[in-house]
Structure 1
């Protein structure tokens, strides 16, 4: 990972940061799909937010993103993975994802996620070994089994 890129456990007060971060990162794509609703977006973030499973991504000590790995039925769901728009395209997402996948491989854990139809993020996930599982009109569901 970049020397000054770190993750830290989140605090309850970080929930509002993640709500606002999702709006900054996801609103354009959700509007494109005709699915943007501020209250629904807020509710979904707060339902997925967990101080136990969510991390805040920091660069030079400043928050630049979030990510959560939630256990479910023997697998983990990658959720709340948002990066500030100003930091996208700088390798931060790949660095954080590589670290999470190394942890999952060491634990023998399968990771699942969903990404919006047409999202550029799908390419990032596929470059890191995620493969198509299923889809609906809004989301594409991807899975990555442990390496080795």
Structure 2
């Protein structure tokens, strides 16, 4: 189902959505984490719970189905793209790029850079580089990118 930005809706999450969001995150991250020997559902739950804020979380819906979620948190010096997950069954159809374009548009309107981290072994690194992000830091397991306004 190829998509356009107009066919995607972002709807506000509520605290009770935690389990659904966690399941989607685990499914989206499973392959990358298994590749580096770090897949641990208990750890994934703890990490996601520690930073979960429904106020900054939006479901990504396409054709009436929830296919992912995005979390954008305002920080003093940037917008933090904390999470952007698309279910593996619908990855590669332009949904993530359309959502990222909306995040970038919001950031540009507010003259704010966007910061994001990506697991070093994840294909998302190529995705962020293709979309104008620049690698600014590397951690033990993650790369950190910044995109300044146009």
Residues 7 and 55, structure 1, Cα contact 8 Å, conserved in 2: yes
Residues 45 and 80, structure 1, Cα contact 8 Å, conserved in 2: no
Structure 1 position 3 matched with structure 2 position 6: yes
TM-score, with length taken from structure 2: 0.92
Structure 1 position 15 matched with structure 2 position 22: no
Is the deviation greater in 97-106 or in 30-39? 30-39
Please give the residue correspondences for 1:1-148 in structure 2 after superposition, counting only pairs within 5 Å.
Answer: 1-147=4-150
Secondary structure of 1:129's counterpart equals coil
Residues 79 and 113, structure 1, Cα contact 8 Å, conserved in 2: yes
Is the deviation greater in 11-20 or in 91-100? 11-20
In proportion to residue count, which structure has more helix? 2
1:2: Cα distance to partner? 3.6
Report how many aligned residue pairs link the two structures: 147
1:41: Cα distance to partner? 0.4
For structure 1, the 5+ residue unaligned runs are none
Residues 4 and 61, structure 1, Cα contact 8 Å, conserved in 2: no
- Cα distance in 1, alignment partners of residues 6 and 136 from structure 2: 34
1:14: Cα distance to partner? 1.5
Is the deviation greater in 15-24 or in 73-82? 73-82
For structure 2, the 5+ residue unaligned runs are none
1:40: Cα distance to partner? 1.2
1:46-76 CA distance string (max 9 Å, x none)? 2222121111000112110011111223212
1:20: Cα distance to partner? 0.3
Secondary structure of 1:73's counterpart equals coil
- Cα distance in 2, alignment partners of residues 100 and 120 from structure 1: 19
